[in-house]
């Protein structure tokens, strides 16, 4: 214990010492910063670390230097301060002294032997700091004390380069005198001279050049000097290498172009004197002269022309200098260019002359100069319209002097000069045009005149000018709007007055029957002006609106008042049969409602949905009791019904004050709407606070609507209202249209107890067979389920298990199972919970059900196992796991688990080619030779569906190769795949086995070849024949008679060539009838040339009917009997005569002779 105390004391003492030490070091730095020598000495006497650096990297010495305290610096160094200590940037005390410019401290440090050429993190050294801050005295001292004058920083910059960059002429001279290498290059390859030139330090550049600096002669330097007005540099560059003077950059620009572009006349003159090409052009095609004109630099223009610049050179867009001058420069410059030979008639790429450019840019003086010098102004309406649009009066005058005839010409939209000037409000331009005789009544494509546009924008003075020139006020645009209508709609009162004073028809309407008055309702002053001029307040538009209705719709209160004062009819209705009163009520506009009622508005008029103003006033979201009072006092029918059978009272249920008022005024509390709802039915579900009021006023509690809902059923989620209704005699056993009782609608156990206690049948079922228990099981209401089960709910009614499983309410399932619920119950579609879980790939639910012994072999159309196999195709991964889980709970599924076709899971999987599923099933089966309703085994199903892998697997497992289905088919008879047939043959399949129709594998394949016409099937026939298939068994020559290759193959293997079809027709005769030269194949294989059909017709007679002489001759050559007769006693010759087969007849007749 004592030892521990000593350790604690020592530890505490040690901690205090560290803290004090830290404090002393900081005090030392602070004292050095402030120049407090006594504090410095005190700190040192307390053993402060003289070389301590703080978080910022400052030491006592660096702080003393930074603040110029020589005495402190001296004291610190004398007491052992490191004279080469560095801060965070790697700077030494000497660098800091050089930077702040303290020559005394610098010299003191040098005397103490500091490293004069030390570098910091950036490679900077003391000399650079002194140069950068222009401390000439320190620079001299450092050089005198042996500083490396050519030392370079991390970027290879020297002190001379830093001086050149800042333009420090005296320091440059000092450095050069001290032996600085004037032509050293930095990392970028720049010398001090390059840096001076780039930095526009001309004097520094001159000093460097004077001391032998080598000037880098290249295009970049030339361009830079031209752009920065470096006259001496330019002269030197040209002197060193005049060949670069006309070299262009990658844009095709030369130094001359850059000098011209920047307006440096002296540079331009120097370059021209030394041979710069005055006619060079850039990549866009602009010449140097065009550059000068664009800058409007007369001196440069004159210089260029004096040095031979081609005044008519055409650059980009074939524009000349004159065009550029006409567009942007002074008339004096335009004249100068003309005097120097500029051609005023040259045209640009777009066929424009210099005059056109002057006009388009509104350079009137330039245009006049050009015209005076012979330029021809080809006046046209486009130029005139452009000038009028900009209000360029002088240009308008100039154009019209050239050609007055164009004054009324219009563009594609029908706009002319007067129309555009009027629309833009250019009064002076309008007057000029009118004075030149412009027609004020020309209209645009939209039917709008100059007066229309001036009226639309309220340009009253222009309107006045146009009217004085006889502008027609009755003109209309495509909508039928007149100048008055548009002026009124825009609220231009003064314009409206002027138009009316000059005869405008105040009641003129557009094609929608809208007048100026209707459009003006937003502007009280315009409305008043129109009414004073006799505007008709009751004109109805095609939309069924009057000015009053439009004003009410848009809440224009001042206009409404004026319109009513001037006789607006308050009872006119719109197309929806809405009156002004209905609109005002709907807008909650009480002042307008008062005015309308004062003017005799009918309170009981209905709109198209049968509602009166009172309906709208009472409506739940906008109800206004003051408006309701006004309407009721004015005689509104309180019990009127709209088209849905609803009264104002029904609409007012959410507005208690309105609701009570209507009841007090006689509102019918038992009125029913078309859905059978009464106010109480509506209120019980949505507005419980008014239920007591309705009951007080005699509302019937057992009324029901069309869906057999009662107030009690509506109040099922509102216990207080529910109890109140019960107290008032509500029928607790009522059912809705779906047969649901109140118990089925509640999730409240207290209410459920109340219902059951009052006799509600706990086991009642609705029309879907659901009970209260099955409904709450679906909804997952555990507490309610427990309650119903305690109350004796029957678990075998409805679908409680399947409903709970659907929503994965496993706790509820457990509760139901404890009450003997059948886990294998089926829903309305006959599916068990397990099947539904399998369909959803719900592993969790499947595990739960299997744990509770759910029957996987339920006798429905698809069992759980077959369902899993059926779904496997789409969700392969998930269903393998499910199938394995199901099989673990029944090791012999083949005996019981069958679908509606009698297929087991194995047969289904085999038929669909699920070889891995087949393997899983076989591993769990004791027998797998089960058959479906058609007698097919798994092998037969796989063969019939060409499932090669499954067939191979089943054969290896010993599947019965001789098994037959109900048609007597064996596997090889059904096979249609060469690989499957080979497998079957390898396992001993009887190639000549026949089914109940006598068909073998060969006859089946030969028949199918007829429709499929596949080379693969022909190969299968060859394979069967190769393996001993008998072509005489149920021969199929007739069915494949359209396939020559198949016929040839079968006949060559011994098929009977004289086979007949079901009608007794020999194959030879059929071949002759339809199939080209196929008959020759039959004859080649010894077909009977005279074999007759049922009618006694021989092959020769068939040939006669085809009218093919070649066939007839061939048959005769093969020994056909020409004398043979049919059942009617006719020979081939007689048949030829009957068929008018002339050539055949002649041939056969010749044989008879």
Categorize the per-residue pLDDT at 11 as very low, low, confident or very high, splitting at 50, 70 and 90: very low
∠ CA 739-743-749, nearest 5°, is: 165
Phi, psi of 688 (to 5 degrees): -60, -25
pLDDT over 70 at 862, yes or no: no
Q: What is the pLDDT of residues 668-701, one digit of tens each?
A: 999 999 999 999 999 998 999 999 999 999 999 9
Per-residue pLDDT at 1062 exceeds 80 = no
Q: What is the pLDDT of residue 481?
A: 94
The predicted pLDDT at position 620 comes to: 67
CA distances from 610 to 173, 506, 613 (A): 105, 36, 10
Distance, in Å, from the CA atom of 865 to the CA atom of 887, rounded to the nearest integer, reads 8
Q: What is the pLDDT of residue 297?
A: 81
CA–CA gap between residue 199 and residue 208 (Å, rounded): 14
Report the range of poorest mean pLDDT among 597-601, 652-656, 827-831, 961-965: 827-831
pLDDT of residue 675: 95
Instruction: Please give the average per-residue pLDDT across 204-214, as a whole number.
Output: 88
394-403 average pLDDT score:
85
What is the spatial distance between Cα 761 and Cα 1058, in angstroms, rounded to a whole number? Answer: 83
* Coil, strand or helix at 904: strand
In order of 1036, 1059, 1069, 1078, the CA distances from 1087 in angstroms are: 16, 9, 10, 12
Residue 375 C-alpha from the chain's centroid: 57
- Write down the pLDDT at residue 1153: 54
Between 247 and 857, residue with greater pLDDT: 247
CA distance 183 to 406: 73
DSSP state of 646: -
pLDDT at 175 over 90: yes
Instruction: List 904's β-bridge partners, or say none.
Output: 898
Nearest-angstrom CA–CA distance, 453 and 419: 7
HSE of 1075, CA atoms in CB hemisphere, 13 A = 19
Q: Which pLDDT tens digit goes with each residue over 362-372? A: 788 888 888 88
* Nearest Cα residue to 141 out of 111, 173, 100: 111
Question: What SS3 class is residue 288?
Answer: helix
pLDDT bin (cut points 50, 70, 90) of residue 915 is confident
Residues 521 and 554: beta-carbon distance below 8 Å: yes
* Gap between the Cα atoms of 956 and 695, Å rounded: 84
Beta-bridge partner residues of 826 = 832
- Residue 105 pLDDT: 93
Q: Show the CA angle centred on residue 681, arms to residues 676 and 682, nearest 5°.
A: 100
CATH superfamily of 739-822: Ankyrin repeat-containing domain (1.25.40.20)
H-helix segments, 624-703: 625-633, 648-651, 656-664, 679-686, 691-696
| pLDDT at residue 971, as a whole number | 86
Q: Which pLDDT band, with edges at 50, 70 and 90, does 17 fall under?
A: very low
Q: Quick check: 833 pLDDT over 90?
A: no
Residue with the bigger pLDDT between 231 and 818: it is: 818
Q: What is the pLDDT of residue 1013?
A: 47
**What's the pLDDT at 197?**
80
Task: Let me know: does 909 contact 873? Beta carbons within 8 Å.
Answer: no
Which of 836, 833, 846, 923 lies closest to 871 in space, CA to CA? 836
Is 591 within 8 Å of 556 (Cβ atoms)?
no
- Distance, in Å, from the CA atom of 750 to the CA atom of 529, rounded to the nearest integer, reads 73
CATH 1.25.40.20 fits 669-731, yes or no: yes
Mean pLDDT of the chain: 87
Q: Which residue has the higher pLDDT, 298 or 774?
A: 774
Specify the CATH number of the domain 1058-1153. 1.25.40.20
- Architecture of the domain spanning 570-666: Alpha Horseshoe (1.25)
Band of residue 563 on the pLDDT scale cut at 50, 70, 90: very high
Give buried/exposed letters for 56-84 (b at 16+ CB in 10 A, else e). Answer: eebbbbbbbbbeebbebbbbbbeeebebe
Beta-carbon contacts of residue 331 (< 8 Å; ≥ 6 apart)? 363, 365, 366, 368, 369
- For position 642, what pLDDT does the model report? 96
Read off the DSSP letter of residue 1060: B
What pLDDT is attached to residue 94? 94
Beta bridge partners of 509: 515
Nearest to 1059 by CA among 1008, 1006, 1017, 1016: 1006
CA-CA distances (angstroms) from residue 236 to 146, 185, 202?
35, 20, 12
pLDDT beyond 70 at 874: no
The whole-angstrom separation of Cα 263 and Cα 296 is 9
The answer to whether 669-731 and 1058-1153 have equal CATH topology is yes
Task: Check residues 316 and 892 and name the one with the higher pLDDT.
Answer: 316
* 402-454 pLDDT, tens digit each: 889 999 999 999 999 999 999 999 999 999 999 999 999 999 999 999 999 99
Q: What is the mean pLDDT of residues 64-75?
A: 90
Distance of CA 251 to the CA centre of its chain: 41
Indicate whether 646 pLDDT > 60: yes
Per-residue pLDDT band at 136 (split at 50, 70, 90): very high
Banded model confidence at residue 1072, pLDDT cuts 50, 70, 90: confident
The distance from CA 46 to its chain's CA centroid, rounded to whole angstroms, is 75
Report d(CA 1017, CA 967) in Å as an integer.
22
The single-letter DSSP state of residue 1057 is T
Q: Which residue has the higher pLDDT, 268 or 872?
A: 268
The SS3 call for residue 606 is coil
Q: Which of 599, 621, 603 is nearest to 611 (CA)?
A: 603
Statement: residue 8 has pLDDT above 60:
no
The answer to whether 999 and 1027 are in contact (CB under 8 A) is no
Does the pLDDT value for residue 665 go beyond 90? yes
Instruction: Give 1152's pLDDT tier (boundaries 50, 70, 90).
Output: low
Look at 2-11, 30-39, 319-328, 855-864 and tell me which has the smallest mean pLDDT: 2-11
Percent of the chain with pLDDT over 90: 44
Domain locations in the chain as residue ranges:
570-666, 669-731, 739-822, 1058-1153
pLDDT band at 148 (very low <50, low <70, confident <90, very high): very high
Task: Select the more confidently predicted residue: 885 or 957.
Answer: 957
Q: What are phi and psi of 509, to 5 degrees?
A: -120, 155
pLDDT of residue 1036: 60
Q: Name the band, by pLDDT with cuts 50, 70 and 90, for residue 398.
A: confident
Least confident segment among 381-385, 453-457, 509-513, 1049-1053 = 1049-1053
Give me 299's structure tokens.
Answer: 């001196």
Rounded (10°) angle between helices 70-78 and 37-45? 20
Higher per-residue pLDDT: 1097 or 1019 = 1097
pLDDT at 40 over 80: yes
Q: What share of the chain is helix, strand, coil (3-state, %, to 5)?
A: 55, 0, 45
Q: How many C-beta atoms surround the C-beta of residue 215 within 10 A? A: 20
CB 921 within 8 A of CB 954: no
């Amino acid at each position: 214990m004592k030892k521990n105390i000593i350790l604690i004391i020592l530890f505490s003492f040690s901690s205090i010492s560290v803290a004090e030490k830290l404090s002393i070091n900081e005090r030392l730095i602070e004292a050095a910063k402030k120049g407090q020598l006594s504090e410095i000495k005190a700190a040192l006497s307390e053993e402060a670390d003289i070389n301590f650096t703080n978080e910022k990297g400052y030491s006592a010495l660096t702080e003393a230097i930074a603040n110029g305290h020589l005495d402190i610096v001296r004291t610190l160094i004398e007491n052992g301060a490191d004279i080469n200590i560095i801060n965070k940037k790697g700077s030494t005390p000497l660098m800091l002294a050089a930077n702040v410019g303290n020559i005394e401290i610098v010299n003191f440090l040098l005397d103490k032997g500091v490293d004069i050429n030390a570098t910091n993190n950036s490679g900077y050294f003391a000399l650079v700091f002194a140069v950068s801050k222009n401390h000439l005295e320190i620079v001299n001292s450092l050089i005198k004390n042996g500083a490396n004058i050519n030392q370079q920083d991390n970027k290879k910059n020297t002190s001379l380069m830093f001086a050149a960059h800042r333009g420090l002429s005296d320091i440059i001279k000092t450095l050069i005198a001290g032996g600085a290498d004037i032509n050293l290059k930095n990392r970028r390859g720049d010398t001090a001279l390059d840096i001076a030139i780039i930095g526009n330090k001309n004097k520094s550049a001159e000093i460097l050049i004077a001391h032998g600096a080598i000037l880098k002669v290249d295009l970049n330097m030339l361009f830079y000097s031209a752009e920065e007005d470096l006259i001496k540099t330019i002269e030197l560059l040209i002197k060193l290498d005049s060949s670069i003077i006309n070299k262009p950059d990658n844009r095709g620009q030369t130094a001359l172009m850059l000098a011209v572009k920047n307006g440096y006349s002296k540079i331009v003159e120097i370059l021209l004197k030394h041979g710069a090409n005055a006619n060079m052009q850039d990549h866009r095609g602009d010449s140097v002269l065009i550059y000068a004109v664009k800058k409007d630099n007369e001196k440069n223009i004159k210089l260029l022309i004096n040095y031979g610049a081609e005044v008519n050179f055409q650059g980009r867009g074939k524009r000349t200098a004159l065009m550029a001058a006409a567009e942007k420069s002074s008339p004096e410059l335009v004249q100068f260019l003309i005097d120097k030979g500029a051609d005023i008639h040259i045209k640009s790429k777009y066929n424009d002359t210099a005059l056109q450019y002057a006009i388009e840019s509104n350079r009137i003086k330039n245009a006049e100069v050009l015209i005076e010098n012979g330029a021809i102004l080809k006046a046209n309406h486009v130029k005139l319209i452009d000038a009028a649009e900009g209000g360029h009066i002088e240009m308008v005058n100039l154009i019209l002097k050239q050609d007055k005839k164009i004054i009324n010409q219009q563009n594609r939209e029908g706009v002319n000069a007067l129309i555009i000037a009027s629309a833009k409000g250019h009064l002076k331009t309008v007057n000029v045009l009118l004075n030149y005789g412009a027609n004020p009544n020309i209209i645009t494509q939209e039917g709008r005149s100059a007066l229309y546009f001036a009226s639309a924008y309220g340009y009253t003075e222009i309107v006045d000018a146009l009217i004085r020139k006889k502008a027609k006020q009755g003109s209309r645009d495509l909508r039928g709007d007149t100048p008055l209508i548009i002026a009124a709609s825009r609220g231009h009162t003064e314009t409206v007055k002027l138009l009316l004073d000059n005869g405008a028809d105040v009641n003129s309407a557009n094609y929608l029957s809208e007048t100026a008055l209707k459009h003006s309702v937003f502007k009280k002053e315009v409305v008043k002006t129109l009414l004073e001029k006799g505007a008709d307040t009751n004109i109805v538009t095609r939309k069924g609106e009057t000015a009053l209705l439009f004003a009410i719709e848009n809440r224009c209160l001042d206009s409404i008042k004026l319109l009513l004062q001037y006789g607006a009819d308050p009872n006119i209705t719109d197309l929806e049969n809405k009156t002004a009163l209905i609109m005002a009520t709907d807008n909650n506009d009480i002042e307008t409602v008062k005015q309308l009622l004062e003017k005799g508005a009918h309170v009981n008029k209905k709109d198209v949905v049968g509602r009166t103003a009172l309906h709208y006033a009472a409506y739940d979201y906008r109800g206004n009791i003051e408006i309701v009072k006004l309407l009721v006092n004015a005689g509104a029918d309180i019990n009127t019904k709209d088209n849905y059978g609803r009264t104002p009272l029904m609409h007012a249920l959410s507005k208690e004050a309105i609701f009570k008022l209507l009841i007090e005024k006689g509102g019918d509390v038992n009125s029913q709407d078309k859905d059978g709802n009464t106010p109480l039915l509506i209120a019980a579900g949505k507005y419980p606070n008014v239920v007591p009021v309705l009951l007080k006023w005699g509302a019937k509690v057992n009324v029901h609507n069309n869906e057999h809902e009662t107030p009690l059923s509506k109040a099922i989620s509102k216990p207080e209202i529910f109890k109140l209704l019960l107290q008032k005699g509500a029928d607790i056993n009522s059912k809705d249209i779906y047969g649901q009782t109140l118990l089925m609608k509640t999730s409240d156990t207290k209410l459920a107890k109340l219902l059951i206690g009052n006799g509600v049948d706990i086991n009642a079922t609705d029309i879907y067979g659901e009970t209260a228990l099955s409904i709450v099981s679906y909804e997952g209401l555990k507490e309610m389920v427990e309650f119903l089960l305690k109350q004796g709910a029957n678990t075998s009614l409805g679908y409680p298990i399947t409903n709970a499983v659907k929503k994965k309410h496993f706790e509820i399932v457990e509760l139901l199972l404890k009450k003997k619920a059948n886990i294998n119950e089926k829903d309305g579609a006959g599916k068990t919970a397990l099947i539904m879980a399998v369909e959803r790939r719900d592993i969790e639910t499947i595990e739960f059900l299997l744990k509770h012994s759910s029957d996987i072999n339920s006798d429905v159309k698809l069992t759980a196992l077959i369902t899993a196999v059926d779904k496997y195709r789409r969700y392969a991964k998930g269903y393998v796991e499910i199938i394995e889980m199901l099989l673990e709970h029944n090791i012999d599924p083949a005996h019981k688990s069958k679908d509606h076709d009698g297929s087991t899971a194995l047969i289904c999987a085999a038929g669909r080619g699920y070889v891995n599923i087949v393997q899983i099933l076989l591993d769990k089966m004791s027998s797998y030779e089960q058959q479906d309703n058609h007698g097919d085994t798994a092998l037969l199903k796989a063969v019939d569906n060409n499932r090669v892998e499954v067939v191979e697997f089943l054969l290896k497992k010993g599947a019965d190769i001789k098994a037959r289905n109900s048609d007597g088919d064996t596997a090889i008879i059904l096979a249609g795949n060469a690989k499957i047939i080979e497998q079957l043959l390898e396992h001993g399949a009887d190639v000549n086995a026949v089914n109940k129709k006598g068909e073998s594998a060969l006859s089946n394949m030969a028949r199918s070849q007829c429709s499929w016409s596949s080379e693969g099937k022909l190969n299968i026939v060859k394979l069967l024949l190769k393996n001993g298939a008998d072509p005489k068994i149920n021969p199929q020559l007739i069915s494949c008679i359209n396939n020559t290759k198949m016929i040839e193959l079968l006949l060559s293997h011994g098929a009977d060539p004289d086979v007949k079809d079901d009608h007794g027709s020999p194959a030879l005769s059929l071949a002759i009838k339809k199939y080209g030269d196929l008959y020759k194949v039959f004859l080649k294989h010894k077909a009977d040339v005279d074999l007759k059909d049922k009618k006694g017709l021989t092959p020769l007679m068939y040939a006669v009917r085809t009218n093919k002489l070649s066939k007839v001759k061939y048959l005769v050559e093969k020994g056909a009997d020409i004398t043979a007769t049919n059942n009617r006693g006719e020979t081939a010759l007689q048949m030829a005569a009957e068929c008018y087969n002339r050539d055949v007849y002649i041939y056969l007749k010749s044989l008879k002779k």
